[in-house]
């Protein structure tokens, strides 16, 4: 059972508002402590979004052997692994970028670039942005069958 088009649009609009709030929290840390380094965590967050799209979302219709949709990183040889290595690579790269986004703000605190309150603002903004991205992917890529989105 899928969601209606209006519900998906409402979720996207609400996510845009909450995403802006997360970006504002990070911008407040930048403006208040007169440094642009917390914006590096935003760049890392948006790079983490690209990995599932590249590794797990690209499909080729009429792939080798079956004629169905096959991920371009899928290993479907009879003697090979036989699994979807693209999805595994997407999860590993996503995890690495998410951890790196949190690590940037902690390293800024350890290096003395921003104080503790700036770290709290940046970590809160990162968390809000990550949650909104996951909700967006869930809402947009939800299929009307038992299979959920490519990330969920």
Q: What is the pLDDT of residue 21?
A: 94
Q: What is the pLDDT of residue 135?
A: 80
Mean pLDDT of 22-43: 93
- Report yes or no on whether pTM surpasses 0.95: no
Using DSSP, state whether 44 is helix, strand or coil: helix
Q: Could you report the per-residue pLDDT of 80-110, keeping only the tens digit for each?
A: 444 566 667 777 888 898 899 999 999 999 9
Residue 150 banded pLDDT, cuts 50, 70, 90: very low
For residue 81, give Cα distances in angstroms to 6, 56, 78, 131.
Answer: 42, 17, 8, 33
Residue 11 banded pLDDT, cuts 50, 70, 90: confident
- Cα separation of 105 and 126, whole Å? 9
């Amino acid at each position: 059972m899928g969601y209606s088009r209006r519900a998906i649009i409402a979720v996207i609009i609400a996510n845009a508002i909450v995403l802006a709030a997360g970006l504002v929290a990070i911008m407040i840390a930048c403006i208040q402590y007169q440094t642009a380094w917390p914006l590096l965590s935003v760049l890392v967050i948006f790079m983490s979004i690209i990995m599932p799209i590249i590794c797990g979302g690209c499909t080729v219709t009429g792939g080798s052997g079956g004629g169905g949709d096959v991920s371009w990183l899928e290993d479907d040889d009879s003697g090979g692994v036989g699994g979807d290595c693209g999805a595994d690579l997407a999860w590993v790269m996503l995890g690495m970028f998410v951890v790196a986004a949190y690590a940037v703000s902690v390293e800024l605190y350890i290096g003395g670039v921003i104080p503790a309150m700036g770290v709290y603002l940046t970590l809160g903004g990162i968390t809000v942005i990550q949650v909104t991205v996951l909700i967006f992917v869930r809402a947009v890529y939800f299929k009307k069958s038992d299979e959920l989105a490519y990330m969920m």
